[in-house]
Structures are given as structure tokens and as C-alpha cells.
Structure 1
Amino acid sequence: MCGMTGFWQRHGGAQDALLAQARAMSARLSHRGPDDSGEWCDEAAGVALAQRRLSILDLSPAGHQPMHSADGRYVIVFNGEIYNHLALRDRLRAEHAAPPWRGHADTETLLACFAAWGVERTVQASVGMFAFALWDRQQRTLTLSRDRMGEKPLYYGWQGDTLLFGSELKALKAHAAFRADIDRGALALLLRHDCVPAPHAIYRGVAKLRPGHLLRISADTPREAQPVPYWRYNDAVSAGLREPLIATDAAATDALEAQLGASVDAQMLSDVPLGAFLSGGIDSSTIVALMQARSARPVKTFTIGFDENGYDEAVHAKAVARHLGTEHTELYVRPEDALAVIPRLPGIFCEPFGDSSQIPTFLISQLTRRAVTVALSGDGGDELFGGYNRYLGARTTWEKAQRLPPPARRAAAAALHAVAPATWDRWFQRIGPLLPKRWQLATPGDKAQKLADVLTLSSGQAYFLNLASQWQDPARVVLGAQEPPTLLTMPDAWPPTDNLAQWMMAMDAQTYLPDDILVKVDRAAMANSLETRVPMLDHRVVELAWRLPLQQKIRHGQGKWLLRQVLYRHVPKELIERPKMGFGIPLDSWLRGPLRDWAEALLDENRLRHEGYFQPDAIRQKWTEHLSGRRNWQHQLWTVLMFQAWLEQERRASA
């Protein structure tokens, strides 16, 4: 796990100047790699590469980067882990193509494979998470690549006649050619999705390389180069639906446990201390159970808890840890501990990021790093095995709404909108004790408004976009913005299935997962110099998941059914079965309480008008309604606040 960066300036440059600039860029990534650093340049070409290293495999100088291939043709800076690199070495030996090995770093393995097989065949043969920049000194080409599921980040972009690239935006900004011009279309996307989805970035002229893609740039046609996929998620969907796994429940459980167990086993390879996040939920408990089954000593597990009702899973994690016999560490976080993280967020997430679970993710990473350098995570289970409530809603809310004729839907929507959310809340408060448990809603007013919106939608895809949007029409809120297309609005990029639940799962895996969840985990963990690994995102697990029939994922109104069966072989059902709980904080009440003054300063009407990015009236209305308690606009407001806090830091940095 490392931070990598570099540039290619077409006019060349002096060696000392190239190395100094590369060093300045990599210095911004020291948190990603505190153990070692290095720079290299090709003076004639104007190419410079730099890397900060967090030593995980081969702690010796043989793992130092930038690293050269044995024949001297290739130079690489690499971020990530190749879990099957020893098997790749065996294949090279079998083909009589293996050079004398200098060490046992996976980066050295990649270079030997590039020399023997070429870049595309090598990345297709590799199992892991990665982002790299590879300079071919013979062909004078630069190749950028990112892993299949998007675990590791990679930004790139032309600034004038200089191509900049790196693991985080802060490295690109350290180059003298960088121009920090905010892209208002990307800002609109931020308000819609809580994040800026790939390939977009918050600055004009900068992009994110999409997961599973290669970008090869030559000296002859540098600007014309376009990323090309070496692996497509939709192909995995097509193949799985075309050739489903026809097996009994027991046989399907065996197959899933074997494949997921193999992934866990490979990802436990480390030359430094290793552990796991444990929330006590299905996903993390499954990963920890499979780890413990493969370990001769107790696995180190980590949990944070909150005293606020509805936000604490630590007690459940402790019960799972006790049953599995892990070496468990828990920390109950006080509100002031979480609040103290907020001023650091714009620096941790160098691009504005609006998912408030970034705060507990940072805190669990901070706790974990005190004892280990690598932590396995349970992310990916919801998208692969049908865990989100919206997938169940596709079979209930949406399908039931579609049974009504369009005029009836419009009339029902108008009736729901006609009653103020606060009035719905008062009615439900009075009659709540008389209702069945499934009708006892926490925020009935907000849910009535959302149902009204759903009733007016024309398609399942529109229903999903509605669910995936915080601000429903952000281009009206961001001044001068035209919202650019994303995968969600490009039918040619949609997964090949007519089943709405499956379609939503596939879209989440290609949008919400890499652009929100994996960004959150990567930045929060790397801010603490902690490597995270995600066994469920091994592409072989992904491909198996899509071969499983939907009824083995969602059954009897319950998601992740088959994954639960794997877990129940290791952990009693009664320790797991409870309502799904997000990894969050009591943000709604904090905005009305300890964060009120901070938020008020950032949302000041005069300030918003002077900065010129937002239409102040729309934001002030939501802020006023939230403070009054009439509506809960915590998510919409938090995204605006995160941009405002980020913008404030940008100004201070450039002052």
C-alpha cells in the first residue's frame, strides 16, 4: 500500500528540476507511505515518477520504488497488493520467463510479467487491488491502470502541456502547472450523490480513471488517448445470468464459502501485523469468521461504539468476537471525539465528500492502526448479495406503485404532498402505538414525501436515480452548472438485466461502491497509514455472486440470504439477526446542537452569495426547516457543508 504520483511534461526538463517537482508531489502523500520514498525521471522525455511506501510485503530495500524491470525497459510506481503474485512467479518459471528475483515484492513480479506477457495480459492475470503508472523507456509510452472494482484511486489530467497523475488530488495540486478551477458540473454531481463519481473530478481538466481500465499514452498522440477496459463488470453480470449456478442451497453455500474463503486466505498474506474491522453485522462477521478459521492464533478485531441509541453496534460485535475467540478491541467514542475529526475532513478527503459515515470510518481506522498495519473489511456484501433495503423496495414499493394507473398515482402523490411532513409526524406520533410494528416509522413525514416522489416516476431506472440522489435537481442549486452524464444516466452503460433488483445491485457496484464506499475507506484508512483489504471484491467472488440465482440472495423479504448461510456455519444465528444498522453518527441532532454555529457560519446567506457557487435561498430554506425540526435535511446539508469547509481550506492554502 502506497501513494504514487508523477507527471509527463512534453517539453522535457532538467533532471534536478524534474526530481524536485516529483519530490514535492510525493511529499503530499506521506500519510499513504511513511516508511520509504523515492523519485526517478527520464530527463529527455520529461517524465518523472515518485512514490511513498507503506511496507507490507518485502520490507527490505528490494521493495523500494520507483522500481525497474530486470531488463531496464520498464519503470513503475505501484499502489496496492497483488494477492496471487507468487502464483504468477510460478507461471513465469514454468514458461522459462522468470528473471533472477531480487526480493519477494509483488511489484517486482508485475514488472517481470509485463516484460514477458505485456501489460494487458498481466493485469488480466492479476488478482488484487492496485493503481500504477508504468513508463516504457523503449516505446516511450506511459500506462496508467486501476483495479477491477476500484479499491485504489487514480487521478490524472492535462494541465497545459503537462500530464499529472497520482493517488490523491493533493499530489497533483503540488505541481507548478496545476490550475485549481472548480468544475460546477462536478459540484452538481456532488450534491446529487454525496461524492463526485468517476470519471469526473472537482477540478476542470482532471479525471478519475474508472475501475478496470487502462490508459496508454504515447509520445506521438498523448492527448488523444482514451481509457479502455480490460475487465467489465457488466460482462460478469451477463456471464452469470447466462450460465447460472444451478445448485441446492447447501451446495451453493459450499461454493460461496470456498471461494470467499480462498479470497480471505490470499488477503491474509502480510509481513506486518494484520487484523479486521468488526461491526457485528453480516459482512464483517463473515470475513472475521473465515479469517479465524484459517488462523492458528486469535485474529485481532476492532470496533468503535457510540452511546447514542440507534448508533451503537459495539455490543453486537463484542458478542461475535467472544464466540469466535478473536483478540477484540473496542472503543466507545464520545461526541467530542467525533466532532474533533470534522476540521480534518477537508484535508483527508482532498476532494469534497459528503458521506457522513466518513467520521466513524476515520475513527475505527485510527483505533485499528494502533495495533496493526493491515485490516480486512466486509465491504461489498450489500451490492453483491442484495443487502440494501432499496433492493427489497424494488419488489414492494415500486412494483406496487406500478399497479396503479398513472392518473391514480398522480392524485395520490398530490395528496401526500398536500400534507406537511410535520403534520404526518404528529399524526403518527398519536396513533403510532396502535399500529403494527412495521408501520411505526421514525420519520413518517419524510417517508411520505419520498413516496409521493416515487409515485410520479416513469421507470424503475428513474426510481433508482431518485433513491440515489440527495438533491433531486442539483443543477438548480449550483449556479451556472450543467450536470454531466454518469453511468446512471447513460443507458448504453447499463447492466444487461430487466430485473430491477438485479439492475440496482449492478449499478450500485459500479457507482456507489467505488465512488463512495471505497473512497471513504481508502482515504480514512490511509490518513492513518492503514492498509485495508476487501475480500468480497476479489473478482472471482464477484463473478460467482452473479452466477447465484436472485432467490438465493433475496428470500422471504431478507437480503444476503446465502451469505447468511455461510456465516451461520460459524456464528449462531441469534447473534446476527437484528434490523440493519448503518455505520453512522447522530448528525441530525448534532447540526441542531454542537455543530450549529459551525454550520451557520458556512451557510451564511451573504457568504453564499459572495462565493457564487450556490443559490442561497434553496440552502437557507433547508437549513431553517432542519433547525425547526420540521424536516430532517441532514444529508443534503452535510454535503453542502463539506464543500464549504473544503472551499475554505482551499482559500487558506492559496492565501
Structure 2
Amino acid sequence: MCGLTGLLDADGSTFGDIRGRIAAMTGPLSHRGPDAEGIWIGEGVALGHRRLAILDLSAAGAQPMISACGRWIIVINGEIYNHLDLRRELEAAGAVLTWRGHSDTETLLAGIAHWGLDETLRRATGMFALALWDRRERRLSLARDRMGEKPLYWGWAGRSIVFGSELKALRGHPGFPCGICRAALAQYLRFTYVPAPRSIHPGIFKLEPGTVLEVAGHAPATVPSEPLRPGEQHGSLSIRRYWSLNDVIEMGCRTLLTDEEEAIGALEHTLRTAIGRQMVADVPLGAFLSGGIDSSLVTALMQEQSPGPVKTFTIGFENPAFNEAPHAAAVARHLGTDHSEMTVTEQDAREVIPHLPDLYDEPFADSSQIPTFLLCRAARANVTVALSGDAGDELFGGYNRYFWGPRIWQRLSWMPPALRRGVGAGTRAIPIPAWDRMGHMLGRVGGPRIMWPGDKAHRLARRLREVNNLDGLYRSLVSEWDGAALVRGLQKEPRSLLDDSLPACLDGDPVARMMAQDMRSYLPDDILCKVDRAAMGVSLETRVPFLDPAVIAFSMRLPARMRIRDNQGKWALRQILYRRVPRELIERPKAGFAIPIGDWLRGPLRPWAEDLLTPARLEQDGFLDPRPIRKIWMEHQSGRPDGTPRLWAVLMFQAWLERWRNV
């Protein structure tokens, strides 16, 4: 795991001190790679790299790395888990006779020389973002892994195309555009993260997962008016897909599994293989363990393949309503892991908040970013690599919205919009504690057990106002603000990846449509972003076995009944886990990774928040309409309804703005 950056000038010239510029861009990534720094400079192009040594700790694994033939120079952030298999294939083909070291970077370069870039990426199993310079063709290629585990920003800074793992690297270029993209701001306020392909800055973009950006010759001197999408071109710059989630979904639909016993056995083998590949490292390795389905299954399959106790990590909280540490400890005892638990005080958690604008680089408002960072920091004291259970929800049907959303729409779809708005108003008229009591009673008689049903009922009621179909309901469920209405100077909210078409085979499967939408936006731009920045902020590499390409492809072959059954998600994963961990250690309401932000905003965080949300300050900044923000703020202070998600989104933007607007 590392950090990369670079630049390509518009006419191939070297403007000013190119070494000084690339050094200024590489230095801010030291947290992503504390072990070494490398820089390569050519005519009008420069590559920078910070190394966190995981495989081949010697100088033979250093980057930027030049291919054996001298044609290609590469910098990469990530890991190629099947690189030893690729080496054997290259050796069998006579493509490589001797190796300089045993790093996966060298393997990737040899593959590119033999198969070409796209074919090598399709053969590679791993997480990565990379920049490749072809010295013979004078061609720059940027590529990102299939699901977006590793970040890659790119765009224009003056007369150069710049790129890097984080925005702070790009800000090291003197021509970096420090303005605010209002279209991206509107999308951020809706989703609480900035979705690809935009970034918060105009002219700076995120490369979409599974794509290659190519600049043939010199960089275009002009910035496109809209973000480029796969299949589009701007002068000498083009973007293409080397891998398509839609294609994998369509293949899964054509080969759906019918035999449950056979499916569970095959899934178990696929997961075991993926986890075994990701346990290879030349540094200490462990796992995050919350005691939930996903992390417990990953840990169990790790322990079965480990020669000794796996190191596992969890954090606990003083507030028992948010503390899942006892569940994790019980699972750890059963599996026999070497378990570490750190109790976090509210003061510990609140002390992270001032550092969030630096850690995340652009506005980001998933409040579980705070405990995620604390968990990563605790793990880094003992290991350099940690496996996680992320992506289990999106691939195997774990979120409450997957089984509540279709049911709600089935009961409300016949209603005219005005009547639905009335139902929403009636729902909000029932106090939150009353909904909590009803939710508790429903769970006792066999219904789905849901944490905080009152808050969720009120949020759903608010979101029913303008829903016209099930896709609209999904979009509403994952939205907080109407960004176009809140952002000043913006007439219309731009399209997002959620507006792209889905495969026709999902037309009759609302749950699968929701899961596909989550996989192409919420997963890479929220979940994976959250973990990457939190982990790399303390120089910890995290790995996600559920995002192994074989696991992704297999999950698409599971019919709905093998994902969600009896008001529970992740049915297939449960069957594998229950063979290893007693059911009673696992079964409990899905809680997420929550902290009491809402209570803190009424208590110790209130002065900080009040200062950021004063009408005078919002007016002076000129980006947001103060009136709806103040309304939600005052309602939240009164105790109901809970405005935490919307307020946290505004607060994280205001805190980010305070930190970065004049840099």
C-alpha cells in the first residue's frame, strides 16, 4: 500500500522547477508510504511515489519502477494478490527468464510488457491505482481497480494534467484550482460524500473504478466542461472500461444457481481461496472483528488457514448502546484468535473531529469515519495489514433497505402522490419513542429487529414526499438534502452514476437493483473511501476479501432467496458462518459502527457547531442557504426530530471549507 502522484505538461515542455513541483506533490503522501520516497522525471512528465513496504521489503520493490526492457515506468498503490500465479504464467510463456526481486509491481510490469495493460489488469486479482508511462509511445495511462478500493484523482493544474492518490498531493502543484465545484457540493449534500467522477474542486476528477484513462502525446490544454465518462474523449485524452460491473451482473443472471447446498459449498471455497490469497504479506497481518456476520466469517476462514492465532482488533465504547466489543470478544474466544480490544472514551472520539478535513481531503460525512479511524490506529500498533469484512452487505444483501424498501413501496405504490405525502405527515406525527416501542414489539414476535426504528420511520416519512417509483425510493433512502435547493447559484443538480442504466435482467428484482446501485456508488465513494483514508492516515494497509473478482462474480449468481430470507439478509454467508460460530453469538440487530454524534451536537459539540452554522457565516461563505439549515439545527436542539445526518453533512463541509479554501 502506497501513495502515488505525478504530472504531465500540456506541450511536453518543462515549466519551471519540475523536480520541485513533483517533490512538493509527493511529500504530503508520506502517511501513505512512510518507508521510502521515489521520483522519476522525463521530458515533460514526472512520477512520484511514497512506499509502505508489504511485499519484497528490499530495494528491488522500490518505485517508480522501470520495466526490464526499459520501455515502461510505473507507480502503483495497492496489492496484486495473484501475482505469483501471473509470474508462473509469464515464465511458462517464456516472457520472463529472471526476476530482479519478488514484488508484485515487477510482476505487473512484466505482464504489461507481454499482454498489454488492459489484459494484464483483467488477469490481475487485487486492489490498485496506478500510473504508467510508455516512453516509446509517449503515452500516460492511469488505471483503477474494479470496485474502487484504491483512490485516484486527476485533472488540470495550470498547463499540466496532475494525478494522485489524494487531493493533498495535487494541491502541491502551484496551478491547482482551489475553487469549489457547486455541482459536486450539491451531490455531496445529497449523498454525504462526493460521488465519482467529480471532486469538490472544479477541473479535478475521480477516475471511475474499472477504467483506464489514457493521454496519447501531450496533455490537452483545456478543461472539459463536464467530467469525462468511459467511452468519451477530450483531445488526446480518453477513458475506457477494462471491466464492467454490468457485464458481471448480466453473466450472473444467465447462470443463476438453483441447488442451495451446492451453492453454499462453492461460495465457501471461493471465499476461503480469496482470503488465503490476501493473507500473503512480508509484514505482520491481522483482521478487524466487530462480531457481526462479515468480519466474523472473514476471521473464521483466516484462522482455519493460519499456523497460529490470528491477531484481531475491535474497539469498545463507554456507552453500552453503541458498544459491540463484548460480541466481538465472544466470537474471538470461540475462534481462538489473539484478540485486542481498546475502549474509546467520548473524549477520544471527539478529539478526532478537528483532524477529519485533513484526513479525508474533501467533504465526507459518514460519521462512522471516527470509530473507523480509531480502530485503524489501534490495529496499527500491532500489524501493518488488516483484513476487513467490508462489502458483505452490498454483495450479499445486508442492509435494512433491501428488505424494507420493496415492502414499503408495495404498500404505497397505488397511492397518489398527495396521499403518500399525507401518510408521511402522519408517520412523523407519531413520536419517535412510540415507533421505538412498536419496533421492539415487532422484533419480539418474529419480525425483523432494527436499531433505532423511530428515527428511521421519521426519515422515511420525510423521504416519501416526491417518490414516484421504486428506483426513486432507493434514491430517496440514500439522500439527505436536496442539493440543488440548498446550494446557491445552482439551478439543477447534475446527474450521478445512479442515473446510469442497469442491466435489463434486474428489471423484476428491486433488491438486486438496490444492491447494484450501492456497489457502483455508495461502496466505492463512501465505504471504501472511509476505510482507505482512515487506514492510510496511520500507514495501515486494509484488504477486502469480499471484493475478490471471483467472490463478486459468484455473488451475482445467487438468487434473491439465497441472499435475503426470513427477514434476514446475507442468508448464504450465515450458513457458512454457522458451521463455525454458534448462532447465538451472532444474532442481534444490525447496528453499524455508530457513535452518539446527535447527542454531542446538543452537548459538548454544540459551541463548535453553532460557530460553523451561524447565519452570518453561512451568508458570508456564499455557498449554502442558511434558512433550512437553521431550521434543522433548532429542531435538533429541541430533541425531535433527529437531524444528525443532515447537520453532520453541513458541518463537515463547513469544517473542510475552513481548512482548505485558502490553501
Superposition TM-score, scaled by structure 2 size: 0.94
Partner of 2:574: helix, strand, or coil? Answer: helix
Amino acid at match of 1:631: P
Which ranges in structure 2 are unaligned for 5 or more consecutive residues?
Answer: 221-233
Partner of 1:306: 317
| RMSD (CA atoms) | 2.1
**Residue 246, structure 1, aligned to residue 253, structure 2:** no
One of 76, 79, 103 as aligned partner of 2:77: 79
Contact 1:382 1:560 in 2 (8 A): yes
Q: Within 2, Cα distance between the matches of 1:444 and 1:495?
A: 35
* Corresponding residue for residue 379 of structure 1: 390
Alignment CA distance shift 1:35-1:631 (3 Å): same
* Residues in 2 aligned to 1:20 and 1:586: alpha-carbon distance in whole angstroms: 45
Determine the structure 1 residue equivalent to 2:4: 4
1:411 pairs with 2:419: yes
How big is the shift at 1:250?
A: 2.1
Report if the CA contact (8 A) 1:401-1:455 is conserved.
no
Q: How does 1:141-152 map to 2 (within 5 A)?
A: 141-152=139-150
Q: Which residue pairs with 1:552 in the alignment?
A: 562
1:86-132 per-position Cα deviation (integer Å, ceiling 9, x unaligned): 11110011111114211001000111111111101100110000000
Aligned to 2:172: 174
Query: Is residue 604 of structure 2 the alignment partner of residue 594 of structure 1?
Result: yes
Once residues 204 and 450 of structure 2 are traced to their aligned partners in structure 1, the CA distance between those partners, rounded to angstroms, is 47
Q: What per-residue deviation string (whole Å, max 9, x for no partner) do you get for residues 144-170 of structure 1?
A: 000001000000002332100000000
Q: 1:200-279 alignment to 2 at 5 Å? A: 200-219=198-217, 222=220, 223-224=234-235, 225-247=237-259, 249-279=260-290
Q: Residue in 1 aligned with 2:225?
A: none
Mapping 1:85-124, distance limit 5 Å: 85-124=83-122
CA deviation after TM superposition for structure 1 residue 491, in Å: 3.5
Matches for 1:481-630 after TM superposition, within 5 Å: 481=490, 482-491=492-501, 496-630=506-640
Aligned match of 1:646: 656
How far, CA to CA, are the matches of 2:15 and 2:622 in structure 1? 42
The C-alpha deviation readout for 1:523-559, integer Å capped at 9, x for no partner, is: 0000000000000000110000001111111111111
Judged with a 3 Å threshold, the aligned counterparts in structure 2 of structure 1 residues 609 and 467 are, in CA distance, closer, same or farther, namely: same
Deviation at residue 434 of structure 1 after TM alignment: 8.2
Partner of 1:29: 29
Deviation at 1:448, TM superposition (A): 4.4
On the 8 A contact 2:396/2:555 being kept in 1, the answer is yes
List runs of 5+ in structure 1 lacking aligned partners: none
1:42 has 2:42 as partner: yes
Q: CA separation in 1, counterparts of 2:477 and 2:549?
A: 27
Distance 1:496 1:458 in 2: 19
CA–CA distance in structure 2, aligned partners of residues 362 and 356 of structure 1: 11
**Residue aligning to 1:476:** 485
Q: What is the CA–CA distance in structure 2 between the aligned matches of 1:197 and 1:319, rounded to whole Å?
A: 37
Distance in structure 2 (CA, Å) of the matches to 1:292 and 1:432: 37
Aligned mates of 1:490, 1:462 — CA distance in 2: 14
Q: Kindly tell me: are residues 513 and 369 of structure 1, through their superposed partners in 2, closer, same or farther at Cα, counting changes over 3 Å?
A: same
Give the secondary-structure state (helix, strand or coil) at the position aligned to 1:28: helix
Contact 1:495 1:507 in 2 (8 A): no
Give the secondary-structure state (helix, strand or coil) at the position aligned to 2:212.
strand
Change in 2 beyond 3 A, CA 1:627/1:495: farther
**AA of the residue aligned to 1:650:** W
Q: In 2 relative to 1, CA 16–478 (structure 1 residues): closer, same or farther, beyond 3 Å?
A: closer
Q: Deviations over 1:407-426 (max 9, x none)?
A: 4x6325325416764x5347
Give the stretch that moved more between structures: 449-458 or 299-308: 449-458
Shift in Å, 1:370: 0.1
For residue 320 of structure 1, report the CA deviation from its aligned partner.
0.4
Deviation at 1:430, TM superposition (A): 9.2
Helix, strand or coil at the partner of 1:4: strand
Letter aligned with residue 22 of structure 1: I
Cα offset for 1:496?
4.3
The equivalent residue for 2:431 is: 424
User: Which amino acid is the alignment partner of residue 208 of structure 1?
Assistant: K
Instruction: Tell me, in whole angstroms, the C-alpha distance in 2 between the residues paired with 1:85 and 1:436.
Output: 48
Counterpart-to-counterpart distance in 1, 2:554 and 2:442 = 42
Contact 2:246 2:502 in 1 (8 A): no
- What is the SS of the residue equivalent to 2:322? coil
Report the Cα distance in structure 2 between the residues aligned to 1:370 and 1:441, rounded to whole angstroms.
Answer: 32
1:177 deviates by 1.5
Tell me the residue number matched to 2:454: 444
Deviation at 1:441, TM superposition (A): 8.3
Task: Indicate conservation of the 8 Å contact 1:495/1:506, yes or no.
Answer: no
Given the alignment, which residue of 392, 395, 403 partners 1:392? Answer: 403
SS of the residue corresponding to residue 559 of structure 1 reads coil
* CA drift at 1:520: 0.1
| Deviation sequence 1:456-487 (CA, Å, 0-9, x none) | 5211110100001011x111111112321112
Amino acid across the alignment from 1:547: R
Amino acid at match of 2:243: W
Identity rate, percent: 51
- Local SS of the residue matching 1:27: helix
Letter in 2 for 1:328: H
2:250 alignment partner AA: S
Distance (Å, rounded) in 1 between the aligned partners of 2:427 and 2:592: 29
1:183·1:202 contact (CA, 8 Å) conserved in 2? yes
Does the CA-based 8 Å contact 1:80-1:130 persist in structure 2? yes
Match for residue 361 of structure 1 among 361, 366, 372: 372
Amino acid of the structure 2 residue aligned with 1:245: L
1:125 to 123, 126, 132: 123
Contact 1:132 1:144 in 2 (8 A): yes
Q: Which amino acid aligns with 1:603?
A: L
C-alpha distance in structure 1 between counterparts of 2:465 and 2:561, whole Å: 27
Contact kept, 8 Å, 2:436 with 2:453, in 1: the verdict is no
Greater displacement, 272-281 / 424-433: 424-433
Q: Is the 8 A contact 2:564 2:570 kept in 1?
A: yes
Q: Distance in 2 between matches of 1:431 and 1:33?
A: 51
**1:406 CA drift (Å):** 2.7
**Aligned letter for 1:150?**
G
Distance 2:191 2:331 in 1: 33
* Structure 1 pair 420–61 and aligned structure 2 pair: CA distance change class (3 A): closer
Aligned: 1:327 with 2:325: no
**1:533-587 Cα distance to aligned partner (Å, 9 max, x none):** 0000001100000011111111111110010011111111111111111101011
What displacement does 1:488 show? 1.3
1:446 shift after superposition: 6.0
User: 1:11 Cα shift?
Assistant: 3.7
Aligned match of 2:350? 339
Alignment correspondent of 2:227: none
1:352 and 2:363 equivalent? yes
* Pairing partner for 2:188 from 187, 190, 205: 190
Q: Distance in 2 between matches of 1:430 and 1:515?
A: 35
Q: Deviations over 1:387-435 (max 9, x none)?
A: 0000001332122222xx334x6325325416764x5347668999988
The count of corresponding residues between Structure 1 and Structure 2 is 645
Quick one: distance in 2 between partners of 1:276 and 1:308?
A: 24
Inter-CA distance 609–575: structure 2 relative to 1 (3 Å threshold): same
Question: Residue 90 and residue 608 in structure 1: after superposition, are their counterparts in 2 closer, same or farther (change >3 A)?
Answer: same
Q: Distance in 1 between matches of 2:406 and 2:523?
A: 22
Letter in 2 for 1:307: E
